[in-house]
Each structure stands twice: as structure tokens, then as C-alpha cells.
């Protein structure tokens, strides 16, 4: 499923109308009929339905919804919000009116009583072009709808929600359901705006799918994508062909981080795994898994430090960072790995802090580099506040990945994965049970295994993030709650996920 910005969607609309020859009024007809069809299972024949129509395309869609439901015997009235209707919206208002539909003005005395009596409100006021603070009469109408007890359906976006980011966002319709036209917009995945959508579904209105796919800069990574791209183990494969990974981390105070990453890497299919950690930490890791080998690293005061004789040439992928500490000598080791390794290197946790003052080192690498920050770590790399990052995660992640030529995994409820060319994938698996220490360590281990088994780094990362979240979903469905789920429990969920993928 594609994700499109307002600019991308406008271009698809333009192409459909000017190049293909589908008129705007036909697109409105298709949208309104499709949305009315999606609404009917959710409403009753005796419900009083109020459709709030703006002056643009969204309002035109609303008049088609009103006419379609009216023609099928539903109790419908329309409200005109705003002035100066576009030609297509005005045409559909006239058709609705000629069918006997009622149109009241939002400023008329009859509007507030109708709103109070409504069981269903259809929000068809504003669409893609909204940015900044709402103006009258939309401000008062949004407030009145949010104060009502009616079930609220929004068309494409809840009115007031921007399509792309939340920088100037202040207030909007709080929808129970949103029927998104053709493809979701970035704001459906941004922390500040996503809750306003309620439950959302896409509806197809006949826009050219191939052109939409070429315009879209982002997409949702689905189960079908995983099954299509997941590597199949060959009959004559062996531990060498399944990758030899190197995982560096685990100070004396955080042995669990490298332990969880190591367990996850092996569970996710790594053929061989070497763990670079402190000599004092090795027994702790070894007690949880016997399959790994170990490299004892130099230490000072219980943290890993740089060493001249570390050889990284024998590995197919490397993970650096978890539980290492943030001192200068520790950072020097991370930079050494980045400079010398000719294979994919993933930086997580403390490894991200090690490069903050030397980001140019990332551009100098020839092999893929993967960064897996949570919002706090990403804000640190960008030298900004977390709320500012969360208002523009798609834009900021894309700029960072392009400038520094990295694969960026911005973790969150909806994890955004960005390639060095700026293309983006959004993962929707996972649940709040992952919001505990150690979940990110498990993800890094899974990604290490995936990077060694895929030729395409973007597919490897997307599949790894999907599997990580899906393991949490499977466990919460079958054996755990979101409260008691631990990062180490994810190892048990991986087996079920891998079996389902291979079916």
C-alpha cells in the first residue's frame, strides 16, 4: 500500500484528469459512492445523518455520499460549510438538491438543532490542502462536531489535519472512522495527528494505480511484501552461507543488551555469530546461549575501549553499540569499525552517540550503514527537541538519510525506514508491549541476521522490522498481555512468525 503526500496526490489527480481524461466530477462520483458503500454496514436505517460539505473536492464527495444514502432511503441532510464552491462540487450539490435533498447553511438557526439530533456526522469539509489554524466557520463547526455524541466519519482526512506533517496543526475533527481516498497520507502515521483518524480504511476511486505507485515516495510494508522478498533456505546451504555476524557491545553494567541481541540474531537465522564484549561479560552471555563464539575486547572501568588489533574482515555484517558506554575511547572503536569494515554495519544505542560529532564518517563508507534510533536518539543526531522531530518525522528522516547516505530506521509506533535515495517504508506491526527496555536490542539482532540473508538492504531491514513487531503481536494474541511482555519473550514469537511466512 502506497503513502502519498498532498503534492504527490495532486499530481496523480492532475494526471488522471488531464492525461487520462477522467473528469473531476466522475472522480467525486466514484469517491462518494465508494464511501457510502463502506458506511452502510456501520449505520442504521433509522439514524439521522448530517453531511458537512466544504466548498472544494471534499465537499463534492460529501454531496455524492448524501445523495447516494438519500436515494437508498436513509434520513440525510447536508450542511454547506464555506462559500464559493468549485464547479464540480456545485454540480453535485445541484444534483443532490434536485433529488429532493435538504441543504442548510452552517450559519442558519437550524444547524445547531440538526447537529444535536444527528446520530451520524459525515465530515466532508476540508481535504488535502489544509495547513495552519482553521478559520471561521470551520473552527466553530469542528468544535461543535467534537462536542457532539454522534458517530463521526471523515472523508480522506479529518478536517483540520494536515496531510503531510503536524508543524502548524492545532485542532481538527476527531473522527471515529476515516475513509481515505486511494492511499493514506503521512499524517496517518505521525504521533500527533494519527489519533484523529480513528479507524481508517482506503477506498479506490479509479485513479491510475501504476502512476500513483511511481509518484509515491513511501509505502506500507505488508505481509505480502515479506512473503515475496523473504529469503528461502536452499537444501545445500550451511552455517557459512547463512552469514557470519559480529555483534559488539555489553559493558559490565549492561550485559543483558548484548545477550538479547545475540539471542535474536541466532533465532532470526544467522549461521554463525561472534560476540565482541568484555571478558567479564562473556559468562553472562554464554549462560543464555551456547551457540555463539566470543572475542574478548579491551576495557577500562568496565566499558569497552578501542583496540588496534581488532580484525573485522572475517564477517558478513556487524552490529555496534548496545551497552557499550559513551566515552571517547569507546567511540574510537565504533569509528574504527565504520572505517575498516567493508560489509554492512548497524549502529544502535551508544553507537549512535559515538558518531554525533563526526557524521561525515557515514558518507565515506562504501558498504551499507544502518542507524536504528528511537526518537530521543534521532533528535540527538539532529540537535533538536523530540517534539519538533515528531512533527516532521518523514521529512527529517528523508533529509538525514539522503545527506549522510544511510539506511535510517526511525523507531516508533509506526517505524519509518528510509533508504539513502530517500524512498521510505512504514511498518505497522507491533504493539505497546514493545515499549520496554531491550526491545531495540532484539531488533538489532534480528536486523543483523536479515542483512546477511538478503541482497537488498532495504528489503532486509523492512522484513526485520516487520518480523520484530509481528512477534510481539503474535505473543499478545496468544500468550501474553501488553503489560507483561518482555523483550526476551520475543524469541518465542519469532518461531511462529517465521513458520507463517514460509506457509
Which residues is 201 bridged to in the sheet?
179
To the question of whether residue 92 is assigned a binding role by annotation, the answer is: no
Segment 269-279 mean pLDDT:
95
To the question of whether residue 217 is assigned a binding role by annotation, the answer is: no
Which pLDDT value is given to residue 240?
Answer: 77
Which pLDDT value is given to residue 373?
Answer: 98
> Would the pLDDT of 86 be above 90?
yes
To the question of whether residue 156 is assigned a binding role by annotation, the answer is: yes
- Report helix, strand or coil for 161: coil
Which pLDDT value is given to residue 231?
Answer: 87
Which pLDDT value is given to residue 372?
Answer: 98
Every domain of the chain with CATH number 3.40.1190.20 lies at 223-502
Q: What is the C-alpha separation between 145 and 120, in angstroms, rounded?
A: 10
Which pLDDT value is given to residue 309?
Answer: 87
Q: What is the mean pLDDT of the chain?
A: 95
To the question of whether residue 54 is assigned a binding role by annotation, the answer is: no
Segment 269-291 mean pLDDT:
94
To the question of whether residue 147 is assigned a binding role by annotation, the answer is: no
To the question of whether residue 133 is assigned a binding role by annotation, the answer is: yes
Every domain of the chain with CATH number 3.40.50.10260 lies at 2-216
Which pLDDT value is given to residue 445?
Answer: 98
Q: How confident is the model at residue 152 (pLDDT cuts 50, 70, 90)?
A: very high
The per-residue DSSP string of 175-213 comes to -SEEEEESS--GGGGSTTTGGGG-EEEEE-----HHHHH
To the question of whether residue 128 is assigned a binding role by annotation, the answer is: yes
Name the CA radius of gyration of the chain, rounded.
26
To the question of whether residue 185 is assigned a binding role by annotation, the answer is: no
To the question of whether residue 56 is assigned a binding role by annotation, the answer is: no
To the question of whether residue 295 is assigned a binding role by annotation, the answer is: no
| Residue 313 near residue 286 (C-beta atoms within 8 A) | no
Segment 238-243 mean pLDDT:
81
Q: How confident is the model at residue 129 (pLDDT cuts 50, 70, 90)?
A: confident
Q: What is the C-alpha separation between 10 and 211, in angstroms, rounded?
A: 12
State pTM to two decimals. Answer: 0.94
Q: How confident is the model at residue 489 (pLDDT cuts 50, 70, 90)?
A: very high
Which pLDDT value is given to residue 56?
Answer: 92
Does domain 223-502 bear CATH number 3.20.20.210?
A: no
> Would the pLDDT of 80 be above 90?
yes
To the question of whether residue 413 is assigned a binding role by annotation, the answer is: yes
To the question of whether residue 440 is assigned a binding role by annotation, the answer is: yes
Segment 367-378 mean pLDDT:
98
Which pLDDT value is given to residue 229?
Answer: 94
Segment 29-50 mean pLDDT:
96
To the question of whether residue 364 is assigned a binding role by annotation, the answer is: no
To the question of whether residue 74 is assigned a binding role by annotation, the answer is: no
Which pLDDT value is given to residue 128?
Answer: 87
Q: What is the CATH number of domain 2-216?
A: 3.40.50.10260
To the question of whether residue 323 is assigned a binding role by annotation, the answer is: yes
To the question of whether residue 441 is assigned a binding role by annotation, the answer is: yes
Residues 6+ apart with CB under 8 A from 55: 80, 81, 82, 83, 84, 85, 86, 89
> Would the pLDDT of 255 be above 80?
yes
Segment 335-345 mean pLDDT:
97
> Would the pLDDT of 241 be above 80?
no
To the question of whether residue 130 is assigned a binding role by annotation, the answer is: yes
Tens-digit pLDDT profile for residues 301-327: 889 999 888 999 999 999 999 999 999
Amino acid at each position: 500500500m502506497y503513502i502519498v503526500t498532498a503534492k504527490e496526490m495532486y499530481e496523480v489527480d492532475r494526471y488522471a484528469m488531464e492525461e487520462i481524461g477522467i473528469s473531476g466530477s466522475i472522480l467525486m462520483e466514484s469517491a462518494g459512492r465508494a464511501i457510502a458503500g463502506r458506511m452502510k454496514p456501520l449505520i442504521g436505517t433509522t439514524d439521522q445523518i448530517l453531511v458537512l460539505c466544504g466548498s472544494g473536492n471534499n465537499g463534492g464527495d460529501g454531496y455524492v455520499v448524501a445523495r447516494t444514502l438519500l436515494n437508498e432511503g436513509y434520513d440525510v441532510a447536508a450542511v454547506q460549510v464555506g462559500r464559493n464552491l468549485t464547479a464540480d462540487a456545485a454540480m453535485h450539490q445541484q444534483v443532490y438538491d434536485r433529488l429532493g435533498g435538504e441543504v442548510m447553511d452552517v450559519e442558519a438557526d437550524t444547524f445547531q438543532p440538526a447537529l444535536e439530533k444527528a446520530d451520524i456526522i459525515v465530515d466532508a469539509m476540508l481535504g488535502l490542502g489544509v495547513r495552519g489554524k482553521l478559520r471561521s466557520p470551520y473552527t466553530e463547526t469542528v468544535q461543535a462536531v467534537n462536542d457532539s455524541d454522534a458517530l463521526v466519519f471523515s472523508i480522506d482526512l479529518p478536517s483540520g489535519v494536515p496531510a503531510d506533517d503536524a508543524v502548524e496543526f492545532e485542532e481538527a475533527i476527531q473522527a471515529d472512522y476515516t475513509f481515505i481516498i486511494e492511499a493514506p497520507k503521512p499524517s496517518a502515521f505521525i504521533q500527533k495527528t494519527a489519533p484523529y483518524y480513528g479507524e481508517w480504511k482506503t477506498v479506490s476511486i479509479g485513479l491510475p494505480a501504476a502512476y500513483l505507485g511511481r509518484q509515491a515516495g513511501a509505502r506500507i510494508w505488508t505481509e505480502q511484501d515479506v512473503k515475496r522478498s523473504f529469503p528461502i533456505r536452499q537444501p545445500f546451504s550451511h552455517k557459512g552461507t547463512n552469514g557470519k555476524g559480529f555483534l559488539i557491545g555489553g559493558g559490565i553494567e549492561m550485559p543483558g543488551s548484548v545477550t538479547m541481541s545475540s539471542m535474536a540474531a541466532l533465532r532470526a537465522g544467522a549461521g554463525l555469530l561472534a560476540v565482541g564484549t568484555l571478558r567479564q561479560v562473556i559468562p553472562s552471555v554464554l549462560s543464555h546461549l551456547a551457540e555463539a563464539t566470543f572475542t574478548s575486547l579491551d576495557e577500562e572501568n568496565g566499558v569497552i575501549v578501542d583496540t588496534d588489533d581488532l580484525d573485522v574482515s572475517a564477517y558478513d555484517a556487524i552490529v555496534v553499540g548496545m551497552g557499550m558506554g559513551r566515552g571517547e575511547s569507546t567511540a574510537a572503536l565504533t569509528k574504527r569499525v565504520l572505517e575498516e569494515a567493508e560489509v554492512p554495519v548497524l549502529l544502535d544505542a551508544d553507537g549512535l552517540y559515538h558518531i554525533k560529532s563526526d557524521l561525515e564518517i557515514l558518507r565515506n563508507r562504501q558498504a551499507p550503514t544502518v542507524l536504528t534510533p528511537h526518537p530521543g536518539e534521532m533528535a540527538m543526531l539532529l540537535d533538536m527537541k523530540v517534539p519538533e522531530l515528531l512533527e516532521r518525522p518523514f521529512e527529517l528522516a528523508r533529509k538525514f538519510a539522503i545527506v549522510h547516505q544511510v539506511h535510517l530506521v526511525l523507531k516508533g509506533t509506526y517505524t519509518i525506514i528510509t533508504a539513502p535515495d530517500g524512498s521510505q517504508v512504514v511498518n505497522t506491526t507491533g504493539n505497546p508491549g514493545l515499549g520496554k527496555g531491550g526491545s531495540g536490542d532484539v531488533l538489532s539482532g534480528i536486523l543483523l541476521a536479515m542483512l546477511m540473508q538478503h541482497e537488498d538492504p532495504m528489503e532486509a531491514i523492512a522484513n526485520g522490522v516487520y518480523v520484530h513487531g509481528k512477534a510481539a503481536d503474535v505473543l499478545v494474541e496468544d500468550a501474553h498481555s501488553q503489560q507483561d511482555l518482555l523483550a526476551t519473550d520475543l524469541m518465542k514469537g519469532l518461531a511462529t512468525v517465521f513458520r507463517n511466512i514460509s506457509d
